[in-house]
Chain A
């Protein structure tokens, strides 16, 4: 009896640890492959260099860092207001039947493979931008719109849960004072949910920074720092995915080093989300 208990405990522990071991191995591997070139060039030169031309020995990833920043900002500008509005409607206003149906529809959005988003962007969005706004169509704007839609499910579902966690007594108190529904939402629910909303935004940001396939298809991948929303742009993830097929030697190391920078950015975002979530509980 007792022995079987320990056996189960043991095997579960092994399985749990193996997941963490995989993470550790990935981290070790990325750093082992990528750090030599950072050490050789110097971290400052690597992340502030503006020229990326690996076959000519120039490794500066500033255009890609800024690219990731612009594209992610674009995604947030489009995704956050829509996501927030949707979550408010679903959690506070919609009848529960409607809310259920809409909520599962939005969760379905999360299940659509990113390549499909990219393809729709490529076929519909890019030509539209090219025709009506000018430029090649492949742009910060196109990537921002596609990513903005892709982060909706994250933002909607996290915000929805946060709103639902706001105690009903708050709302009832406000309504009893004669406030309208919208006043209640604006003055009580939103402020109470603020830390959770910030956490949702940060999680969405993490998703946007990490997305690759859809961005490659619509962003144009130029290695120049974009000076307008209509200019083509390359993100950190696209840089790795585009060139890994052929990269050898220093070029390959530089792509792993790009991975290190990306890893650090995502780790920072996750830590930030956790900190914000902790502030909420205090």
Chain B
């Protein structure tokens, strides 16, 4: 009996090690046997859910292809495309700096809507007013034509693509006030604005619902039509970026993303299809 204990212990440890090795090797072996081609996309968590929808549909239609999609943010996406860690970088902002050596494919546009509580009488703010509010200079709704009530600014965390696009388009070199409430998802921003009559926040147009009110920026309400005709200004692109001369499988997937069917799917998810937007502006 006493000899049995160390034996059993040894056996358990051995099995654990074998299982660990097996689980590490298993996926690699499966790839060798069936040899499906695989593509890796990485980057913006704003693009990610839409890329996943397109990839699921694509994998249903095309045999023998596996599309891996990872988050990490726009900057990380561009970095991994540059370094070759991923073949396709997903970005929810324009390429900047040395990222411009990548080839961007615009697959859709997303409007960022400014949202307030449904009871808030404000309907319109111009860009300077929005900047003043988020910079913490304008602190009361009465200063921008609303009722007398302190403004509670809700923003996204630094590094987020939505925050990056908002900073680029609205804030420029001005900083968002450090007194702003910071939340780490579109849903959380919506939740706060839905409950607080003094709050103002921003989120993807596709995620605006009845619980919050989107307001016009410089007289233009966010919608697919106003994005398409270039009148709504708070718009960011959704980009798939690759290095020069990608593999055929990658080219095929990107052109699938631009196909009529894929674009219709994106439109259904609340994005503005790239085909409907007038170039320029």
Contacts and interface: CB of A to CB of B under 8 A. Distances in A.
Label chain A's interface by main secondary structure. Answer: mixed
Contacts of A247: 159
Interface in A119-171: 122, 126-127, 130, 136-138
Contacts of B177: 224
Report, as a range, how many residues of chain A touch the other chain.
35 or more
Interface stretch (A52-60, A81-89, A181-189, A258-266): A52-60
Interface string A67-90: 000000000000000000000000
Interface string A43-68: 00000000111111000000100000
Given A243-B157, A243-B158, A224 B75 contact: no
B132 interface: no
B179 A224 contact: yes
B181 A246 contact: no
A11 B17 CA distance: 14
B26 interface: no
Interface in A4-31: 4, 7-8, 11
A221 B182 contact: yes
A251 B159 contact: yes
B73 A248 contact: yes
Given A53-B175, A136-B196, A248 B79 contact: yes
A103 interface: no
A59 to B, nearest CB: 11
A136 B73 contact: no
Nearest to B12: A11
A54 B179 contact: no
Contacts of B71: 245
Interface string B174-190: 01011111111000000
B5 A8 contact: yes
Contacts of B75: 246, 248
A34 interface: no
A251 B158 contact: yes
Contacts of A127: 195
Contacts of A232: 179, 181
B47 to A, nearest CB: 13
Nearest to B180: A222
Contacts of A243: 157-159
B49 interface: no
B9 A216 contact: no
Given A127-B195, A243-B157, A246-B76, A138 B181 contact: yes
Contacts of A137: 196
B79 to A, nearest CB: 7
Contacts of B181: 136, 138, 220-222, 232
B182 A222 contact: yes
A220 B2 contact: no
Nearest to B74: A246
A98 B164 CA distance: 57
B184 A222 contact: no
Given A4-B2, A127-B195, A136-B198, A242 B76 contact: no
A216 B182 CA distance: 9
Interface of A: 1, 4, 7-8, 11, 51-56, 63, 122, 126-127, 130, 136-138, 216, 220-224, 231-232, 234, 242-243, 245-248, 251
18 contacts: A4-B6, A11-B6, A52-B178, A54-B159, A55-B159, A130-B195, A130-B196, A136-B152, A223-B178, A223-B182, A231-B179, A242-B184, A245-B72, A245-B73, A246-B73, A246-B157, A246-B158, A248-B73
